[in-house]
Amino acid sequence: MAKRDLATLRHSTAHILAQAVKELFPKVKLGIGPSIPDGFYYDFEKKEPFTPEDLKRIEKRMAEIIEKDLPFKKRMLEREEAQRLLKRDKERFKLELLKGLKGKRISFYATGDFNDLCKGPHIKSTKEVEAFKLTSMAGAYWRGKETNPMLQRIYGTAFFTKEELDEYLRNIEEAKKRDHRKLGKSLDLFSIHDEAGAGLVIYHPKGAILRKIIEDFIEEEHEKRGYQSVITPHMYRIDLWKRSGHYDFYRQLMYFFEIENQEYAIKPMNCPGHVLVYKSKIRSYRDLPIRYFELGTVYRHERSGVMHGLMRARGFTQDDGHIFCTPEQLKEEIEKAVFFALDILKTFGFGYKLILSTRPEDYIGSKKNWEQATEALKEALKESGLDYEIAPGEGAFYGPKIDIQIADALGRLWQCSTIQVDFNFPEKFNLSYTGRDGKRYRCIMIHRALLGSMERFLGVLIEHYGGAFPVWISPVQVKILPIAERHMEYALEVKGRLERENLRVELDSRNEKIGYKIREAQLEKIPYMLVLGDKEAKSGSVALRLRSEEDLGQVKVDEFVSKVSREIKRKKN
């Protein structure tokens, strides 16, 4: 089977999952069973929850169905016949799906005695599924709506070979070890407390240091590229959100409150504030492009079921930028923003994937403006020689966008960076500039966030490195480990020397065995450990150890300082 048919293989395996469940639990009602990027799932309505033992039984039955080498047979039924079949089997969710299908003839697929409403395509036979695994269970509302019945979702995955499956399962286990929520606690970086509120992140000292290092780096890089920093409020009157369109298109994710008979909303985005800065005075074509930047904290009413540590929070900070330019400057500004984002991601050691997202069903502005904006993004990508994919209908409500997905060490993709062209805000807020001829012209606005949200980026960064950060961003870069009390004076001398070089240093002064201190420092994933004993104190050196457990032996203090300083300057990953 060709590599491009992986989605077909997985969808077919979902079909086999449904057949196995129906054979083992005949009263279960079927939902849907699509392929997804990491595998597949199928939704079922069942009174009692599935158990881990049930999952094992289902996997065993799936293997039996696969071994039977049952062909996938497509059947085209008249709509009335399809309806009778689904009513007979009391498949109410399938009946609901049937109502939304067009045409007089409806597609079903059968394997043995099992029939499923499905447009396909499928593999030829169940025997083609050579490597699969059911991975987890979760609850899921029918069609994703909270007012609909709660179904039970069984997740699984399938690959063409057992080797690919084994590698995927190893990555799952590795991902569990790298879970940023687990590492955030063990490395003392951050916490989230029910008493404070779900989705609200509290940074501990080491987490705050990590975040500040990244923020300082980002601010410096923006300054180099001609951005001006601004600071905007955390809330605005409701009138501003109505004018921007957020009230109509985004209010379900916003927080509202009233002060002195005036309705306000906490900001879910930073753009209206940047617009007001631009509008604060008359602009000339000579002023453009104008690039504003803000590490702006926003709040969004995410549902409790979708929040996930730092990856999906209710309060988060964006490295938000807005560019106001002329039509002639648009393509160049898009290219600059894209390459700026890629430079930043490379510095942190990430791969990436570019996606062009086009007009969604719900949008503001004219189709003409959308087409202009989309074409500008396409041209910028083509002329930059960058490969990209198109995601139809995935644009923001006010404009198309280039999304840059981060590829981490396990090959997982995370949505962080985004660059969006907006013709609509300038119209809504009458954003203009004076041209060479003295006439007023409408400017174009680019929304862009390079890391996305600091919270999500930090979560991805933690999992990418498994908490073992490059030395330049490590909250603690060096830990000094004196062997005995008599070595403390020399340890303090070394600590002072390193701190004068602006290295982030901790001294473990506890009266513990040196082996215990080393193990503790390794668990804390500190890049460098300096063990100090009689020999080191006498020779003015340190015994250098790495968190990888490698022992590099004795080095002079100045030699160590030079080595680490070079590494930090290069931002070596």
- What is residue 2's predicted lDDT score, i.e. its pLDDT? 41
> For the residues 540-561, what does the mean pLDDT come to?
94
What pLDDT, on the 0 to 100 scale, is given for residue 135?
93
| Sign of torsion over alpha carbons 122, 123, 125, 126 | negative
Q: Could you give the CA distance from residue 166 to residue 170 in angstroms, rounded to a whole number?
A: 6
With bands split at pLDDT 50, 70 and 90, how would you rate the model's confidence at 382?
confident
Q: How far apart are the first and last CA of the chain?
A: 38
- For residue 325, give the 3-state DSSP assignment: strand
Question: Among candidates 212, 213, 192, which has minimal Cα distance to 202?
Answer: 192
Q: How high does pLDDT run on average in the chain?
A: 93
Q: What is the mean pLDDT of residues 37-65?
A: 95
* pLDDT tens, residue by residue, 489-518: 999 999 999 999 999 999 999 999 999 999
Asked if pLDDT for residue 390 goes beyond 80, the answer is: yes
How many C-beta atoms lie closer than 10 Å to residue 7's C-beta? 14
> Under 8 Å CB-to-CB from 476, ≥6 apart: which residues?
206, 504, 505, 506, 524, 526
Q: CA 353 to CA 381: how far, in whole Å?
A: 12
Asked whether the beta carbons of 230 and 293 are under 8 A apart, the reply is: yes
How many other C-beta atoms lie within 10 A of the C-beta of residue 514?
Answer: 17
| Closest by Cα among 43, 14, 36 to 142 | 43
What is the C-alpha R_g of the chain?
Answer: 29
Residues annotated catalytic, as ranges: 271, 300, 318, 320, 322, 401, 447
19 Cβ contact partners less than 8 Å away, ≥ 6 residues apart: 62, 65, 111, 112, 114, 116
**70 falls in which pLDDT band (50, 70, 90)?**
very high
Q: φ and ψ at 93, to 5 degrees?
A: -70, -35
pLDDT of 510 reads: 93
| Model pLDDT for residues 466-482, shown as the tens digit of each residue | 999 999 999 999 999 99
Is residue 305 over pLDDT 80? Answer: no
- Alpha-carbon distance of 236 to 265, in angstroms, equals 6
- The sign of the dihedral angle between the CA atoms of 443, 444, 449, 450 is negative
Answer yes or no: is pLDDT of 444 > 70: yes
Residue 555 pLDDT greater than 60, yes or no = yes
Q: What is the pLDDT of residue 95?
A: 94
Q: Which domains does the chain have, with CATH numbers?
A: 3-173 (3.30.980.10), 182-465 (3.30.930.10), 478-570 (3.40.50.800)
* 158-202 residue pLDDT tens: 999 999 999 999 999 999 999 999 999 999 999 999 999 999 999
pLDDT for position 494: 96
Read off the pLDDT of each residue in 543-548 and give the average, rounded to a whole number: 95
The contacts of residue 548 (CB under 8 Å, 6+ apart) are none
DSSP E strands, 275-392: 290-299, 315-325, 351-357, 389-391
Give tens-digit pLDDT for 182-192.
999 999 999 99
**pTM for the whole structure:** 0.84
Q: What is the pLDDT of residues 90-140, one digit of tens each?
A: 999 999 999 989 888 999 999 999 999 999 899 999 999 999 999 999 998
Residues 6+ positions from 117 with CB-CB distance below 8 Å: 82, 86, 91, 94, 97, 98, 106, 107, 108
The whole-number pLDDT of residue 529 equals 97
Instruction: Specify the pairing of strand 290-299 against strand 315-325.
Output: antiparallel
Distances from the Cα of 499 to the Cα of 270, 331, 473, 493, angstroms: 38, 46, 16, 10
Q: Across the strands, what pairs with 35?
A: 40
Predicted pLDDT of residue 273: 96
Percent of the residues in the chain that have a pLDDT greater than 90, as a whole number: 83
CA distance 144 to 147: 9
At residue 537, the 3 state secondary structure works out as helix
More confident residue, 442 or 364: 442
Q: Is 207 helix (H, G, I), strand (E, B) or coil?
A: helix
Residues with Cβ within 8 Å of residue 532, at least 6 apart in sequence: 480, 481, 482, 483, 487, 490, 491, 494, 542, 543
pLDDT at 240 over 80: yes
- Whose structure tokens read 């084994």? 166
Distance CA 210, CA 103 (A): 57
Tokens standing for residue 381 = 């990508």
CA-to-CA dists, residue 118 to 32, 221, 385, angstroms: 9, 51, 39
